[in-house]
Amino acid sequence: MHTKEEKTKAFGEFLEVLDTLREKCPWDAKQTNESLRPNTIEEVYELTDALMADDTSNICKELGDVLLHVAFYSKIAEEKGQFDVADVCTRLKEKLIFRHPHIYGNVKADDADQVIQNWEQIKLKEKGGNKSVLAGVPSALPALIKANRIQEKARNVGFDWEEPSQVWEKVKEEIAEVESEIKEGSQEKIEAEFGDLLFAVINAARLHGVDPENALERTNRKFISRFNHIETKAKEMRKNLKDLSLEEMDILWNEAKKMEKEQ
């Protein structure tokens, strides 16, 4: 691993390259916050893919791409006289110190849960900070991740189930309400009840220490792998998927499951 001096030197050299590209490269020179935004979102998802795959080499590469965007936005702001990357680092340093009084102050925190609870109280007191516990949840977050963050923030101020097992009664209640609305046939109410059910299931996952986004993504990947196996076998039999019976598909699906266990 590198020394602190080597890390600082590498970061400085990276910023020098970015300055040069911004000045001399036609593509880099014309970029704006608006033009970079879609690419930033894509880079974050690519990093997420690498993290899910636990691909160390690719994680390193994708972290570099995300870092490029952080520095690029800072460079654009510097050109406008707003702030630069040093301001970004300084504000982050100050925030980290302020939010860790159990390290830099006299507050006591014996475990991670207590640290998180302290954070929520600190963020409410920050100058220019959130005036509401839930105000810090970005509105643009995907709904599943947003639901989890909402529940986590509510938990940090004491609004939560006393025991994880209690949530299952709520899940059962929401299933019953979905079934009831399906019988009634009101699509708007069915959608509302499905939303309540999904929220309750996300809550259950959280209470049992499972990140629902990661759990669902693992299932997505598992489904894709098994379905790809069905497609491959269908081609080997010179058949289209539509030519296979559901029974034949089930056999191939179970074959894929067996192969996973043997790996």
How confident is the chain (263 residues) per 10-residue block, as mean pLDDT? 95 97 96 95 93 94 98 98 97 91 83 74 63 83 93 89 92 96 91 97 95 93 95 92 92 93 80
Place of tokens 């080499």: 57
What's the CA gap between 182 and 133, in Å, rounded?
Answer: 35
By residue range, what is the domain housing residue 228? 214-262
The rounded distance, in Å, linking the Cα atoms of 221 and 164 is 28
Whether 76 and 24 map to the same domain: the answer is yes
What residue has token string 């490029």?
68
Total domains, the chain: 3
What pLDDT, on a 0 to 100 scale, did the predictor assign at position 126? Answer: 63
229 found inside a domain: yes
Global pTM exceeds 0.75: no
- 225 and 250 inside one domain: yes
42 and 13 together in one domain: yes
- Among 82, 115, 141, the domain boundary falls at 82
- Among candidate residues 52, 82, 112, the one where a domain is terminated: 82
pLDDT at 9: 97
| Pair 75, 13 in one domain | yes
Q: Does residue 88 belong to any structural domain of this protein?
A: no
Task: Decide: 17 and 28 in contact? Cβ < 8 Å.
Answer: no
Distance CA 178, CA 175 (A): 5
**In this structure, is residue 12 part of a structural domain?**
yes
Query: Is residue 254 assigned to a domain?
Result: yes
Q: Closest by alpha carbon to 231, among 253, 212, 262?
A: 253
- Domain-located, residue 27: yes
In this structure, are 205 and 233 located in the same domain?
no
Q: Of 210, 226, 243, at which residue does a domain stop?
A: 210
Q: What is residue 50's predicted lDDT score, i.e. its pLDDT?
A: 94
Domain of residue 77, CATH code: 1.10.287.1080
| CA Rg value for the chain | 25
The tokens 């302020």 sit on which residue?
98
- Provide the pLDDT for residue 129: 58
What integer pLDDT is reported at residue 103 of this predicted model? 85
